[in-house]
Amino acid sequence: MSEARSIHIDYQVVSQLADLTKDDQSLLNQAIEASKLAYAPYSKFHVGCALRLANGKVINGSNQENAAYTVCQCAERGALGYASAKYPDVAVIEVAVYAQGASVTTPVATPCGVCRQALLEYADRFDQTMRIIAQCNNSSIYLFNSIRDLLPLGFSKNNLI
């Protein structure tokens, strides 16, 4: 027997920063500022991330590249590592990611698969939904209600414990 199933996600697209709530504007602006600190001499794709923690703090990160490409670290995982090292008991409730790249032709750049997995782990760790805000090159802003929407059928701690 086979059964066709589908997965549906709801997300929002907002045309400009000014149309976001003040809190979202602030978080995205911090991701934009963080992208300016990227070390991305190889890809020239500058990514900034801002994590809003449950204690009100915001932690930033930017991508850090290496001539040995597999060592490159994405902005999101850099920020998560810092958050976990500094505030290990505090949830991340919202994530803004901004990407700036000269040769980008897509309308949005969402977190890569590895970062989705890392974000999901963090969300699960604190039982959070974790909103995601993503913008690329001043294009429209994409708002996702939960990291789980970006990783449907994802592998998580529920598979192990």
Q: Which residues bind ligand THU (CB under 6 A)?
A: 40, 43, 45, 47, 63, 65, 72, 74-76, 111-112, 115
- The per-residue b/e assignment along 120-156, b for 16 or more CB within 10 angstroms, e otherwise, is bbbbbeeebebbbbbbbeebebbbbebbbbbbeebee
By beta-carbon proximity to ligand THU, the closer residue of 51 and 75 is 75
Q: How far apart are CA 25 and CA 4, in angstroms?
A: 40
- Residues 106 and 139 sit within 8 Å (Cβ to Cβ): no
Q: Is 76 a catalytic residue?
A: yes
Distance (Å, rounded) from C-alpha 98 to C-alpha 24? 12
Q: How far is the CB of 41 from ligand THU (least distance, A)?
A: 10
Say which DSSP state 154 is in.
-
Q: Name which of 103 and 159 has its Cβ closer to ligand THU.
A: 103
Instruction: Closer to ligand THU by CB, 74 or 123: give it.
Output: 74
For residue 89, the minimal CB distance to ligand THU (Å) is 26
Task: Select which of 3, 33, 65, 76 is catalytic.
Answer: 76
Q: How far is the CB of 131 from ligand THU (least distance, A)?
A: 16
Enzyme catalytic residues: 76
